[in-house]
């Protein structure tokens, strides 16, 4: 039987970090299932899901822990099967507006009140093309319970968009 490991890693960015992790995973017979990695402020940060036979899981964990001697900080967790709770609606939210503190806090609070589970959150700040002011962009892929009132979520997000002075687009059936 197979099991999944979810690994987070953080360290000073340098060439070869992904290669070192991939080599250890392959040597143990693990399959690299999905990942998201980035260089942020001179640090390399990532999250990876590996799949491996249960019998080989301790060997994989030990091999990955060797990366800590190379300056990476790791968190290794065994994955769990997702809980069944009806058929959720996959939804994507896109936001763009002038940057200011608190945007993610405000949006995520609304989503939490409506039972949304965030699958993926991507954010970035960039210069506006004409004014040069800092724009904040976000894309959120989420699952909303089938029992949730999407009209209520839409209305609350529209009100928040007005308060934050941002544009929000909500797209049902989007995502992975």
Domain count, the chain: 2
In a domain, 45, yes or no: yes
| Model pLDDT for residues 10-20, shown as the tens digit of each residue | 999 999 999 99
pLDDT greater than 80 at residue 149: no
In a domain, 56, yes or no: yes
| Model pLDDT for residues 3-54, shown as the tens digit of each residue | 999 999 999 999 999 999 999 999 999 999 999 999 999 999 999 999 999 9
Instruction: Write down which residue in 56, 78, 100 finishes a domain.
Output: 78
In a domain, 6, yes or no: yes
- In terms of pLDDT, which residue wins out, 87 or 83? 87
Q: What is the pLDDT of residue 122?
A: 96
Instruction: Write down which residue in 25, 58, 78 finishes a domain.
Output: 78
Cα–Cα distance, 123 to 173 (Å, whole number)? 21
Domain that holds residue 64: 2-78
In a domain, 84, yes or no: no
pLDDT greater than 90 at residue 135: yes
Instruction: Write down which residue in 78, 105, 127 finishes a domain.
Output: 78
pTM: 0.77
């Amino acid at each position: 039987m197979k099991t999944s490991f979810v690994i987070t890693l953080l360290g000073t960015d340098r060439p070869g970090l992904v290669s070192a992790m991939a080599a250890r995973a392959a040597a143990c017979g693990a399959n690299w299932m999905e990942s998201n990695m980035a260089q942020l402020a001179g640090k390399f940060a990532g999250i990876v899901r590996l799949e491996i036979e249960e019998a080989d899981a301790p060997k994989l964990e030990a091999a990955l822990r060797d990366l800590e001697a190379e300056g990476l900080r790791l968190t290794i967790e065994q994955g769990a099967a997702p809980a069944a709770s009806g058929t959720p609606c996959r939804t994507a939210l896109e936001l763009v507006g002038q940057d200011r503190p608190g945007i993610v806090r405000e949006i995520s609070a609304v989503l939490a009140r409506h039972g949304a589970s965030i699958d993926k959150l991507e954010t970035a700040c960039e210069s506006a093309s004409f004014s040069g002011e800092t724009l904040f962009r976000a894309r959120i892929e989420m699952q909303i319970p089938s029992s949730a009132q999407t009209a209520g979520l839409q209305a609350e997000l529209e009100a928040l968009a007005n308060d934050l002075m941002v544009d929000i687009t909500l797209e049902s059936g989007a995502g992975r």
